[in-house]
Structure 1
Amino acid sequence: MSRPELSLSLQFADARHRAQLPRHKVMRWIRAALELPGEIAVRIVDAEEGRALNHDYRAKDYATNVLTFDYSHEPVVGADLVVCAEVVEREARELGIELLAHYAHMLVHGTLHAQGYDHEEDDEAEAMEARETEIMLALGFADPYQKR
């Protein structure tokens, strides 16, 4: 199956995991979740920047794993995905999963948000989680919602 075109900007404000996030892998994960062509910037940040962005844009005073700033859904998906390296690393350790698998999941999750998926309501959450699971399995990762 052919995947949509993707223009990707990959930025490392926090370079701690740069070696584990080569451009071709990040592109593969995002393209797997894209339903239309995309212009997406991925910025890997530290906890300080993650917390500041979450505070400024969501009024939450903590760093979160991934923030999605979506600008357009069609005909081209336009978004910035901000991923906090420290949070992703901590969550992977706490969940007992590979760091790479958790990064893939966070990028798939953020890409789905960029296309209008949400998880505020139970039915939305079920649909989004089902789509994430389908994508992660297709990428060769475990179901991110399976109880460990």
Structure 2
Amino acid sequence: MAGVSITNLTQPIPKGLGSSFIKVAKEVLPGWDLSLVFVGPTKARALNVQLRGKDYIPNVLSYVVGEKSGEIIICPSEAAKQVSSFQLPLSSFLLLLFIHGALHIKG
């Protein structure tokens, strides 16, 4: 069964984004199971080192887990530091990061 599971391991996320993430996932990766995880900076950095060998805090990471299955990891605190450069509300920037991650998974 295709869908999106959302896990928040960090600060509160703006309300109403869940349905937007699901809509994007259905459009960009139809039939896929996606896991979206919000993490803090320590976990984001550790995953970036583990998955990519890069030692910095990323705003988003994404990767394929299996056939039609992927994971997108977003660090909201890092996104909050960068959002002013994009002149967007944080909720829109988080959605943009999700789209970016989904497109990486799509290839």
Q: TM-score range by the shorter chain?
A: 0.7 to 0.9
Q: How many residues align?
A: 107
**1:50 alignment counterpart:** 44
Alignment of 1:1-148 (within 5 A): 6-17=2-13, 19-20=14-15, 22-34=17-29, 36-72=30-66, 77-116=68-107
CA positional deviation for 1:104 = 1.2
Same amino acid, percent of matched pairs:
20
Separation of aligned partners in 2, 1:92 and 1:71: 28
Name the amino acid aligned to 2:57. A
CA positional deviation for 1:21 = 5.1
Structure 2: which 5+ residue stretches go unaligned?
A: none
Structure 1: which 5+ residue stretches go unaligned?
A: 117-148
Alignment deviations for residues 37-58 of structure 1 (CA, whole Å, 9 cap, x no partner): 1100000011111000001111
TM-score, with structure 2 as normaliser: 0.87
- Structure (1 or 2) with the larger CA radius of gyration: 1
Alignment deviations for residues 84-125 of structure 1 (CA, whole Å, 9 cap, x no partner): 111111111232211121111111111111112xxxxxxxxx
